A and B are shown apart, each in its own frame.
Chain A
């Protein structure tokens, strides 16, 4: 028992370590940012040159959701805050919260007050806040302090009159201020949303966050999932874990699996979620990652809820579904329970088992409605009884076929009927 406990502890600890890593965006994006060509270095270069040369700059970070824009930005900002501790102050705004100009200006004033330990008054008007902003920009410019504005969900700031964007970018055109405006957005055409005069003042620098190449992804996977040599885990365990991991990663089936996953979602954020699931499926008794874990994770991301619903249906309910599908194939656009019953009876011209009475079928029909595999097409006819109201299928033919195929004891006639 002591030995089992010993064996269990390292795998539990390893699991915790891996899970912590995968949920920490700083760790995840650091290895991808090491090359000099990466977005991290480019962004760092632009911001640090604006700080050291005391000039203004504006830049857009574009890319699909989950590609690490804010994560890389935070990495850059934390590095710069260490490098120049007194020379930067960061103001963060989000388009979802501060899309309105008044709100945004209030938030800017509040954050500036917090940074510089001033008193913030909630009743300050729009005018007061904007005067404060201009005064602060001037003061910070004189004191050689750069203000970095981070505008998340930039496309939401570019709606309506864009006054905030205009005043920020216009303030940057004067010599006295030292500011950097960083916009983060997932829309690629966000600069087309800007008004012409705002667009003219924007410096058109864009950093595109694209998913990494195949080789980068492979290296990245190995780096993320390997246990570090200097952790508190026993050395032999670490070595064996990493060895087995290498084997799994080099396996052709694993590569195919990853390619399949990446053909749906290629962003790093999604890949992290997938790895988190795979790692969570690790068998603690065995203590090592195996190909099965990844396979299970992949199948759990590709769940088809409606097909799974089919597994819980009774045979009669399956018959009803197949009848409805046949009615649809026959181009009958609206049908109700009675027409389904007619179809059902016509199927059973051939055999007599599985032929149930009308009220039993009605009960099965109501089950299907509750489970939302079918639904009424109109919202009004509550006065009519269930048998007369038109219904439609909520499950596609492909899903139905899939579900029937994986049903434990599906009658052959159903498969024949649906395949025709």
Chain B
């Protein structure tokens, strides 16, 4: 019991300390030597005041406890004490532990239960059940941004439908799940469907697979127990051709009187059905649309926690997960990105521990005689350094979301920076593009004002080409070097921000 209370109190302390240090603007760095001590000192007063963690058995719910604690900040950081008592310590130096965590967070690991998509799955499942029971054909279109769990949910639904059909003693279902990017050409999808229907027969030369299917579905060749087919077509927009015929014919297959296929299409655009299948509306067979919205912050958080539940130890601090969920939800709501950021944060922690271990081994060799290493070792092995903290997560987020443009501009050679500067000044007046020759004049003016000798036109145009290669400029085509059109592809604000450290550029871009 005391051990548990200790750990809870220490993690509470560090959360309070982290909030304080967050507010004061300096995120705890990787120099772990003195900071844990400081944390203890700073939050001692706070720890003395707080009482809720003394009796872990009688925990109030996190939300209520938060409101009653005097030090809780207003932005509602939850403290999850409920299942911690049974978790062991995570040792990031243990290879097995690391691997288990990385596997739990990997995109390819499909979790056993899919949270936050129960509604959508239920709708699709009901739709499929209805179609199978009535032995009718139907079409459904699932849309949503990338990384919102569409393919994952469809896989689950597929399994659920098969199980349900076996349970209800109905005719077993044929399932065809394919990704439309793997088709060599778009009309191959029909031959694949036909192949499923009649696996042994080869199609005769004169009729195309599509016509074959159409004939099959319009005659009452359905013997009493012919099977229903479930077709799941992923990345449906690869089937869009110029005359939109393939997509249209595919959905029209479900409108035939004796058609027995349930078609589920998955794509990104919300209005695919409206734009590309207008004729279906007149026949009153528009596909049912299920939209997979982008994940909100709470959903991302609960998905991450669900994944981490499998592990018997705490890996991430609650706030780190919150920060990640908040940032990713604000950016795109893409679950893959959230998982990627978490893994990246773990790697930062790993790198930090490795570096501190190598520093420690150096330090311990040096100070072996002075015997001052004992307290330092203790601190290093405390659990505070064994979880992914908010600073790791912040670093991982900035690495993922920040574009490398500012760094690159800052490390460009001086003349190329002057060229960028002259481009910004030139295009400030509202002009959108110009020629290399005119840019050269602007560049020479700036060089003269800085008393730097300007380079010749050959060197200038090759520097423009280097900037074009890097994606900062866009150079047009022309026979003559001087008359190539130049446009700036980077935002002016980015360039000003990047160059603000140098006084000359600051004055220049005023």
> Chain A interface (Cβ within 8 Å of chain B)?
36, 45-46, 49, 52-53, 55-56, 62-65, 125-127, 130, 161, 163, 166-167, 170, 172-175, 186-190, 196-197, 199-201, 203-206, 208, 210-211, 262-266, 302, 304-305, 396, 398-399
Contact = CB atoms under 8 A, between A and B. Distances in A.
Contact of A263 (B99, B102, B354, B414): B414
Contacts of A211: 411, 413
B408 A188 contact: yes
A141 to B, nearest CB: 10
Contacts of A166: 181, 235
B415 A188 contact: no
B268 A266 contact: no
Interface string B407-436: 110011111000000000000000000000
B415 A264 contact: yes
Contact of B405 (A46, A188, A196): A188
Interface string B213-241: 00000000000000000000001001000
Interface bracket on B:
35 or more
Contact of A188 (B106, B107, B404): B404
A189 B179 contact: no
B106 A130 contact: no
Contact of A204 (B99, B181, B337, B408): B337
A56 B340 CA distance: 11
Given A52-B95, A56-B108, A186-B469, 19 more contacts: A45-B351, A46-B347, A53-B98, A55-B106, A56-B106, A65-B469, A126-B184, A173-B108, A186-B470, A189-B471, A196-B268, A204-B340, A204-B400, A205-B344, A211-B411, A263-B414, A264-B413, A264-B463, A399-B457
25 contacts: A36-B354, A53-B102, A53-B103, A55-B102, A55-B108, A56-B108, A127-B182, A127-B184, A172-B108, A175-B109, A188-B408, A188-B470, A189-B405, A199-B146, A200-B147, A200-B336, A201-B336, A206-B399, A210-B407, A211-B411, A264-B459, A265-B413, A396-B457, A398-B444, A398-B456
B395 interface: no
A144 B358 CA distance: 30
Interface string B431-455: 0000000000000100000000001
B408 A208 contact: yes
Given A197-B146, A204-B337, A266 B413 contact: yes
Interface string B310-348: 000000000000000000000000101100100010010
Contact of A266 (B181, B405, B412, B455): B412
B472 interface: yes
A119 B322 CA distance: 52
B42 to A, nearest CB: 30
A187 B472 CA distance: 8
A217 to B, nearest CB: 12
B494 to A, nearest CB: 11
Contacts of B336: 200-201
A197 B358 CA distance: 41
B411 A206 contact: no
Contacts of B413: 211, 262-266
A210 B469 CA distance: 15
A187 B458 contact: no
Interface string B253-264: 000000000000
The 3 residue pairs across chains A and B that have the minimum distance between CB atoms: A200-B146, A263-B414, A266-B413
Nearest to B414: A263
A203 B470 contact: no
B145 interface: yes
B466 interface: yes
A130 B182 contact: yes
Contacts of A304: 456, 458
A362 B102 CA distance: 80
A266 B147 CA distance: 40
A64 B404 contact: no
A408 to B, nearest CB: 21
B476 to A, nearest CB: 17
A36 B268 CA distance: 42
B235 A197 contact: yes
Nearest to A262: B413
A190 B98 CA distance: 31
A53 to B, nearest CB: 5
Interface string B78-122: 000000000000000001001100110011111000000000000
Given A64-B470, A187-B471, A210 B107 contact: no
Nearest to A42: B351
A210 B334 CA distance: 30
Contacts of B370: none
A147 to B, nearest CB: 15
Interface in B455-508: 455-459, 463, 466, 469-472, 489
Contacts of B415: 263-264
A298 B109 CA distance: 57
A159 to B, nearest CB: 14
A130 B457 CA distance: 49
Contacts of B470: 64, 186-188
Contact of B108 (A175, A197, A200): A175
A63 B106 CA distance: 28
A410 to B, nearest CB: 20
B403 interface: yes
B466 A64 contact: yes
Interface string B347-373: 100010011001000000000000000
Contact of B146 (A196, A264, A305): A196
B482 to A, nearest CB: 9
Given A197-B268, A265-B413, A188 B459 contact: no
A211 B470 CA distance: 14
Contacts of A125: 184
Contacts of B181: 163, 166-167, 170
A264 B455 contact: yes
Contacts of A203: 340
